[in-house]
């Protein structure tokens, strides 16, 4: 839940007591505030080189960045729950000294996947319009974009609740995270919706909302993807029918000669079935190999944005496609042969003259 700038007193009570809402297993909160960060060229110079390169802009001089009201002077300071940070370590691919973090000796920086900042360097931050600077050692670098925090030019600073309380009086709770069993999601969501009561400054995000959105998105993808697949399938089927039918008709004299020397209609149909089966097998192999690889490639691209996406092998659609391929590939040659069989062998042989 994102409080977007102010804290609900009712929500503060819920967060502290956690007794009026059944089903919640864990509650984590994140404080936020705006701070001043001192630009130290030895610590942040290379970071600014990377920042300017990434945003394709001219790099300000160190003198410009060091000004008290310069473009580097402002930063977001976020107070994280230590238990929440422990759960995030694997996802963020960092290892944090939790004891030092809790004591307020180290801070984490959001480097937005830019280089240039080194672990172990020290920097200073202070509240707005205050000279009371606090020094922190850089204890971790990661991309905290999953927390949804905006940023200035300077990297965002993440400190412990203990350090946040020393740094700022009455900091705002910007976000509260509630973990619960799936069976309790609806109950908790309903209670939180009642708590917000249409307040435009508070935003509620729930996995239930995401599920509904994904169901709608899946339906849209199925309709669009199914429509495109149907069009491509029709084009392929019509192309195969045209080529196979034309090929059989073009070889009717050849078939007439073969029948005239003793080949029966049953043997001829068997020959055409083998030919159609060959096309069907080749098509099936292409669908189940290249088609599957293309599907997984599309999933890989999609999952980079939607990390919650799960790949499931399209067993039913693939089975239907294979059956359809065999039906078309086996039936078209027989239908074409039936058409040329309307003329007798003699009539077909005369066409050679």
pTM above 0.85, yes or no: no
Residues 155 and 226 in one domain: no
Residues 216 and 169 in one domain: no
Residues 182 and 260 in one domain: no
Distance (Å, whole) CA 330 – CA 277: 6
- 277 vs 38, 270, 273, 332, 338, CA distance in Å? 74, 10, 6, 11, 18
Reported as a pLDDT band with limits 50, 70 and 90, residue 4 is very low
Residue 3 falls inside a structural domain:
no
Reported as a pLDDT band with limits 50, 70 and 90, residue 146 is low
Do 30 and 160 form a contact (C-beta atoms < 8 A)?
Answer: no
Question: For 298-337, how does the pLDDT look when each residue is reduced to its tens digit (9 = 90+)?
Answer: 888 877 766 667 778 888 888 888 999 999 999 999 998 8
Domain stop point among 143, 176, 205: 205
Residue 4 falls inside a structural domain:
no
How many whole angstroms from its chain centre is CA 349?
64
Residue 2 falls inside a structural domain:
no
Residue 308 falls inside a structural domain:
yes
- 29 vs 12, 179, 266, CA distance in Å? 10, 12, 78
- If one compares 330 and 146, the residue with the highest pLDDT of the two is 330
Question: For 19-36, how does the pLDDT look when each residue is reduced to its tens digit (9 = 90+)?
Answer: 445 666 777 888 888 889
- Both tokens assigned to 269: 């149909």
* Percent of the chain residues topping a pLDDT of 90: 19
Place of tokens 């110079």: 45
Do 135 and 115 form a contact (C-beta atoms < 8 A)?
Answer: no
Residue 235 falls inside a structural domain:
yes
Taking the alpha carbons of 199, 204, 210, 215 in that order, is the dihedral positive or negative?
negative
Distance (Å, whole) CA 169 – CA 137: 22
Confidence check: pLDDT of 109 > 80: yes
Residue 250 falls inside a structural domain:
yes
Residues 299 and 262 in one domain: yes
Residues 130 and 161 in one domain: yes
Residues 160 and 253 in one domain: no
Domain that holds residue 263: 212-350
**Mean pLDDT of the residues in the chain:** 81
Confidence check: pLDDT of 108 > 50: yes
- Both tokens assigned to 265: 């209609």
Say which residues have a Cβ less than 8 Å from residue 223's Cβ, sequence separation at least 6.
none
Residues 39 and 150 in one domain: yes
Distance (Å, whole) CA 237 – CA 8: 62
What's residue 352's pLDDT? 56
Domain stop point among 205, 233, 262: 205
What's residue 277's pLDDT? 92
Residues 150 and 232 in one domain: no
Distance (Å, whole) CA 25 – CA 98: 22
What's residue 136's pLDDT? 94
Residues 268 and 284 in one domain: yes
Domain stop point among 162, 179, 205: 205
Residue 240 falls inside a structural domain:
yes
Residues 275 and 188 in one domain: no
Residue 275 falls inside a structural domain:
yes
Residues 20 and 56 in one domain: yes
User: What is the domain count for the chain?
Assistant: 2
Distance (Å, whole) CA 269 – CA 274: 9
- Residues forming a β-bridge with 176: 29
């Amino acid at each position: 839940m994102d409080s977007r700038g102010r804290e609900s007193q009712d929500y503060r009570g819920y967060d502290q007591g956690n007794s009026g809402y059944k089903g919640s297993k864990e509650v984590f909160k994140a404080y936020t505030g705006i701070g001043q960060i001192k630009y130290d060229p030895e610590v942040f110079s290379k970071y600014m080189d990377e920042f300017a390169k990434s945003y394709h802009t001219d790099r300000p001089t160190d003198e410009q960045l060091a000004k008290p009201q310069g473009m580097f002077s402002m930063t977001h300071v976020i107070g994280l729950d230590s238990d929440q940070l422990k759960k995030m370590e694997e996802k963020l691919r960092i290892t944090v000294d939790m004891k030092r973090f809790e004591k307020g000796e180290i801070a984490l920086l959001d480097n937005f996947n830019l280089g240039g900042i080194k672990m172990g360097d020290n920097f200073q931050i202070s509240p707005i319009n205050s000279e009371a600077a606090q020094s922190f050692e850089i204890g971790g670098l990661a991309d905290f974009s999953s927390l949804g925090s905006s940023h200035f030019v300077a990297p965002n600073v993440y400190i412990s609740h203990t350090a946040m309380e020393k740094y700022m009086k009455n900091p705002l709770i910007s976000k509260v995270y509630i973990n619960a069993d799936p069976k309790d999601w609806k109950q908790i969501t309903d209670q939180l919706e009642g708590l917000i009561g249409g307040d435009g400054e508070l935003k509620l995000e729930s996995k239930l909302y995401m599920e509904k959105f994904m169901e709608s998105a899946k339906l849209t993808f199925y309709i669009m993807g199914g429509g495109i697949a149907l069009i491509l399938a029709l084009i392929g089927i019509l192309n195969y029918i045209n080529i196979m039918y034309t090929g059989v008709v073009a070889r009717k004299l050849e078939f007439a000669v073969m029948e005239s020397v003793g080949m029966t209609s049953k043997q001829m149909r068997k020959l055409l079935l083998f030919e159609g089966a060959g096309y069907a097998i080749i098509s099936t192999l292409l669908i189940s190999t290249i088609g599957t690889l293309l599907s997984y490639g599309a999933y890989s691209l999609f999952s980079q944005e939607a990390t919650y996406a799960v790949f499931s092998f399209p067993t039913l659609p693939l089975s239907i496609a294979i059956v359809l391929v065999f039906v078309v590939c086996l039936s078209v040659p027989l239908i074409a042969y039936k058409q040329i069989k309307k003329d007798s062998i003699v009539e077909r042989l005369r066409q050679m003259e």
